Structure 1
Amino acid sequence: MGAYRRDKAVDLAGLEGVGARARASGLRTALCHGCFDLLHVGHVHHFHRAAALADVLVVSVSADAACVKGPGRPLYGIADRTGLIAALEVVDHVHAAEDSSPMRVIEALRPDVYVKGPDYARNPCVRLRAETALVERLGGRTAFTDEDVTASSTALLRRLHA
């Protein structure tokens, strides 16, 4: 995880512990998951909105191979992407996911709230429906943030190269 906040990094077993400790203490957990290829203001707003929904914010980051957004992507490897997110004060824990799907992360953490951005609310995909079903089966719910600031790493990069 680079030279960033290693104390925030958790593996799958660590996620189980985070979730169990939170539940035992009566605290609510929120989970955000994504590629976070190029961290931007929309991501930061998203994390702040997600943190407001719970007491503990966990962000899981897709493995490099899972970020299939085009040639040369992700721009930054998993160590840098998780490190940048861990550097944000609003984030309590960060996880470098090994899979393309957050299903194992959801099973380990058992979040009270699985938080996705407004673009997913407008265009829910089959994968999100499966993730939501698992979250609900484990006693949680899916929520969508309604950022007043949204951005897309892919759109930003296209603008730069246009």
Structure 2
Amino acid sequence: MNDEPTTAVAQGTFDILHPGHLHYLREAAAMGDVLHVIIARRENVTHKQTPILPDRQRRDMVAALDPVDSALLGDREDIFVPIERIDPDVIVLGHDQHHDEAGIESALVERGIDCAVERASDRGPGFDGEVLSTGEIIERIREQRC
């Protein structure tokens, strides 16, 4: 019987935290005994607008959340460097993250990392005026404050 804790990894930008982020991290935490979260560095975010908040601030905010055991910034050059260090049992992708699961699985095999790749569920629509997207939060601020 293996007494080693199951290690899960979640990753993302986490710019302006919202209930969708918390849902993702709670679900990722439920897939392991320990949850490490890798925060994308600003210079590595190319699939959407650059984060508004600085790297350290985003990392510190994620680290303060109850489901998270540790939060660290991603590597500047190679997104798999922290994965190799952590050696997780499962990588949990957000339900709407742009990542290609098959591509990640292939890269893990090439690097000799024995790790499952799972996708978190969609939280579903917000209620009571919740906003579940950083972009939507920014738009609401523009509408109501500008």
Give the aligned partner of residue 36 of structure 2: 58
Give the aligned partner of residue 128 of structure 2: none
Give the aligned partner of residue 85 of structure 2: 108
Deviation at 1:52, TM superposition (A): 0.5
Residue from 3, 9, 12 that aligns with 1:34: 12
Give the aligned partner of residue 144 of structure 1: 119
| Structure 1: unaligned runs, 5 residues or longer | 1-23
TM-score, normalization: structure 1? Answer: 0.71
* CA–CA distance in structure 1, aligned partners of residues 78 and 139 of structure 2: 25
Tell me the matched-pair count: 133
Deviation at 1:109, TM superposition (A): 1.3
Report the 3-state secondary structure (helix = DSSP H, G, I; strand = E; otherwise coil) of the residue aligned with 1:102: coil
Cα pair distance change 1:119/1:100, threshold 3 Å:
farther
TM-score, normalization: structure 2? Answer: 0.78
Kept in 2: contact 1:102–1:131 (CA 8 A): no
Alignment of 1:1-162 (within 5 A): 25-68=3-46, 69-70=48-49, 73-99=50-76, 102-120=79-97, 124-125=99-100, 128-136=101-109, 137-149=112-124, 151-161=132-142
Cα pair distance change 1:86/1:149, threshold 3 Å:
farther
Task: Specify the structure having the higher radius of gyration (Cα).
Answer: 2
| Structure 2: unaligned runs, 5 residues or longer | 126-131
Deviation at 1:113, TM superposition (A): 0.6
Deviation at 1:88, TM superposition (A): 0.7
Kept in 1: contact 2:6–2:89 (CA 8 A): yes
- Percent same amino acid at aligned positions? 26
Report the RMSD for the aligned CA atoms in angstroms: 2.3
Report the 3-state secondary structure (helix = DSSP H, G, I; strand = E; otherwise coil) of the residue aligned with 2:17: coil
Q: More helix per residue: 1 or 2?
A: 1
Deviation at 1:118, TM superposition (A): 1.3
Structure 1 segments, 4+ long, off by >4 Å, are: none
* CA–CA distance in structure 2, aligned partners of residues 159 and 45 of structure 1: 21
